[in-house]
Chains A and B, each alone.
Chain A
């Protein structure tokens, strides 16, 4: 789950990590009042679940409260399209106003879990404020890693090793150690998969000031991070993906595509997307209906798929193990009737009770094309979509 910048700031505050003074507003008037109160030059930042907002016009330095109010009225309620979002973009509902900081140097800092080392690692670079993936590609020597041992945590020598190449002033080393240590504590205690401070600013008085931050929380930790999951902002998500999540379906809307895919299992669902593309069509979505699936879940999955107006064909690919193919077939046929669906459906179905499932499909009035295996499904899709 993604958090907004202002939520991440509040969370990190609890771990003694302090940001420049800031306040959130959701109307132009609120923004006006906040800037009046600050009585200084400010930065106004759109709160969206996406990187690249600066380039997309979501961040502005404002000299006066009137400037800030004007910027807010242009932005609030609008959708911002960044290089990280799809073509619909994401809606701006809140703006964060912060004091302007004088910047002498910018550092990049983050903690992630490295699946290769199987530990949390800190990633840092003296090239702060920039796109870290680009730095990693262009000048990997500028990326510094510290591995956290799950028993030892952060040791002071690890910090001493990297301060030189990061350009941390000698007097700021203890402060830097405390900052990284606190970030690591926050990372562990909040079940984060990413905490990023970019940039971490060193000002003229050699103070370390985190300017912007981003936190991702492990979706699988919801059962023990209930308070954090209260912060979820559904308005930042694709509405169909949110609806799917409520039914415990893993659904990802794809930008282009005319084939709605319903599959059980994530790997098979990805393979089905690949095969669909090979057949000359494009998948409209990724959808994993899961293992122990029931009829209601299947019906909801079907409704979500066909609510995508670009869908011209359905490809249902199921390898029933725990799930029962007959129940799935019943669900599809009922939901199709309910939505008056009459487009071609290619069905590849193996495993538990698939014989009964086929009978249910054949007895229906749907435009059914039965495939014997995944390869055959692709062939059928190619021939149906080319009108042969």
Chain B
């Protein structure tokens, strides 16, 4: 892995992204609009948006980045450009980290816009500082990126990649604590939810909205960062120079 090759790969991915204004709009604005819709939906029920708005902020960037990343890297596998890159000195980690950097930057912009919209326009109130909410949203989007990169290794077509959503993402949403606090779940499901990274994303958001400090916030964030790093390492390890 060399910094020059990693960075030029990241720059190339970003350049491709900017050549596609529709995707840029989707990445930057769609989650904010969804949060707006959500807040409007509960505008007559005080307190609901304050309770659920935070977890929603954790979800939308995660889902969107998962989808975009897995489909984009799959396109690279199928177009033959990955095969060409695998005949060059580009390292597997250069490729994966290059993608992670590019989409990580996009995710950071997205999280900033989404959290800003939720707080300023929709009036989401948190007990903890707003920047912590932004940090959680960025890390969640990065987690989505890392899992998307990993998932694309196991898909042969874009169609299959999209189908990872119901398999990998929906159970995490159901068991993550958004619909029911995790400690009220049946024991087995609670135990399973302890192993799902999105649970920690929602734990972290809940900590910020409640104003919890220290371990209640940083513990889940460390878990998310570690899972992201492991997913990226696995994505690089499962990339093959030789294919059948």
Do A and B associate with each other? no
- Residues on A lying within 8 angstroms of B by beta carbon are none
